[in-house]
Chain A
Amino acid sequence: MLILGIDTSTDYLALSLLEDNLVKAEYNLSLKRQHSEKLLPLMEELFQTFAIKAQDLDAIAVSIGPGSFTGLRIAITTAKMLGRIFDIPVKGISTLEIMAAGQRADYILTMLDARRARVYYSFYSRKKADFKTDLEKKLNLKELYQASSIKIEQLAELLSAYKGEEILLLGDKTDKAAEILKRENFNVITADPENNYPRSAVLARLGRDYINLGQEDDIYQLKPAYLKKPQAELNWQQKYGG
């Protein structure tokens, strides 16, 4: 099974090729806002290097964010077209999950910068005892808190039930988050830079696993993860008038 992973959800343009258990190629290029110009040429180069054709692909894994909507639509549009033309399965995967699935730790908090002291986050367990469904058991991953956004300052409150556990922080703003959580006596660790972003090889592997479990997406419905309205935390209305 030959799987192409495509991710344009963050500053990284990420592209990978996975053949069964073999990572044949993995690009993770930190290219701010150039995804539209670079993605298709990079795919063409990848195909040429391995002397394969687009029609040789068996499946596509694509990141659905959170991230810049304009950026996300580049990879998703590409995945949809490949899926349609070659009639192959496509699976959309959360960027936060890609990060968590790439690391081993019992509890993992993945974050993406949402600016102005906020982060998009998701909280995962990789502890066997926590897994309930077949999917969780097979993927070795359970999402404890669904993706949302929060003020960094409020992370301690969010994770209060896990104060006794070791928590791995991944993604953006980990230093700031570690500082806040340590102040509240949390047991947190951070990752080295090469493990601290959504790796495209992990995306392709997750895609393979989901698709093998029959979890492919309908390409006609596939869209970015447009996050729901976050909690209003501050009542500016009172202060600035409405």
Chain B
Amino acid sequence: MTREELKFISSSAEQSIEFAKKIAAYLDPPSLILLKGELGSGKTLMAQGIASALGYEDEVTSPTFNLVQEYRAAQEIIHMDLYRLDKSEELIEIGFEDYLNRDAVILIEWPEIALSLIPADFIFIEIIKKTNDKREIIISGEGKKAERLVERLFKNVNSRD
């Protein structure tokens, strides 16, 4: 099975935020969004863009220490950062599955450790740091709903360029 991949080059934080907002526009909650990328690649920035497009007005910071933050907007948003977890067993302790069951938009930074527990239907965003400001953002969808979103996003991005 081949995966539809959408590649987008962002040359500034502002462009990344705009792109994140486009993604948010196509979300049909509940949605699961995995954000992969090295330190400082801008995962939190994407989360910020998505949360703000969903109507959350306060500040979005990376939940590195409490692992999970919940934002109340028109749509419930759950923001996780799994960087500090060592073992996938720890996911059970933090109520990972319970969060996955919520009617929410769930954003997960550093999702690698949780991949074996993540069921179908998610949007996978990989951010690759090219230079100080430039990022390659690769999006793919797992599951019908997510694949459709990527397709629509693909059309939108291409038609505007």
Measured between beta carbons, the chain A residues less than 8 angstroms from B118 are 236
Binary CB contact string for chain A from 198 to 242 against chain B (1 if under 8 A, 0 otherwise): 000000000000000000000000000011111010111100111
B30 at the interface (CB under 8 A from A): yes
Measured between beta carbons, the chain A residues less than 8 angstroms from B97 are 114, 149, 227, 230
A68 at the interface (CB under 8 A from B): yes
Residues of A within 8 A of B (CB): 68-70, 113-118, 149, 151, 226-230, 232, 234-237, 240-242
* Chain A nearest CB, measured from B33 CB (Å): 13
Measured between beta carbons, the chain A residues less than 8 angstroms from B89 are 229
Measured between beta carbons, the chain B residues less than 8 angstroms from A113 are 101
* Chain A nearest CB, measured from B90 CB (Å): 11
* Closest chain A residue, CB of each to CB of B3: A239
Interface size class of B (residues with CB under 8 A): 20 to 34
Known: A226-B92, A240-B36, A241-B112. A151 touches B124 (CB 8 A): no
A241 contact from B36, B88, B91, Cβ within 8 A: B36
B98 at the interface (CB under 8 A from A): yes
A237/B119 in contact, CB under 8 A: no
Known: A236-B115, A240-B36. A229 touches B92 (CB 8 A): yes
Q: List 6 other contacts, CB 8 Å, given A240-B115, A242-B112.
A: A68-B98, A226-B92, A228-B92, A230-B117, A236-B142, A240-B112
Measured between beta carbons, the chain A residues less than 8 angstroms from B91 are 229
| Complex Cα–Cα for A226 and B91 (A) | 12
* Closest chain A residue, CB of each to CB of B97: A227
Known: A229-B89, A236-B115, A237-B115. A117 touches B101 (CB 8 A): no
A229 contact from B36, B88, B115, Cβ within 8 A: B88
A114/B116 in contact, CB under 8 A: no
A114 contact from B101, B113, B142, Cβ within 8 A: B101
* Chain A nearest CB, measured from B19 CB (Å): 20
* Chain A nearest CB, measured from B36 CB (Å): 7
B95 at the interface (CB under 8 A from A): yes
* Chain B nearest CB, measured from A238 CB (Å): 9
B32 at the interface (CB under 8 A from A): yes
B53 at the interface (CB under 8 A from A): no
Known: A68-B101, A229-B88. A116 touches B117 (CB 8 A): no
Binary CB contact string for chain B from 51 to 63 against chain A (1 if under 8 A, 0 otherwise): 0000000000000
| Complex Cα–Cα for A229 and B93 (A) | 10
A-B contact pairs, 24 of them (CB 8 A): A68-B101, A69-B95, A70-B98, A114-B97, A115-B100, A117-B121, A117-B143, A118-B119, A149-B97, A151-B120, A229-B88, A229-B91, A229-B117, A232-B116, A234-B120, A236-B142, A237-B112, A237-B115, A237-B116, A240-B34, A240-B112, A241-B36, A241-B112, A242-B113
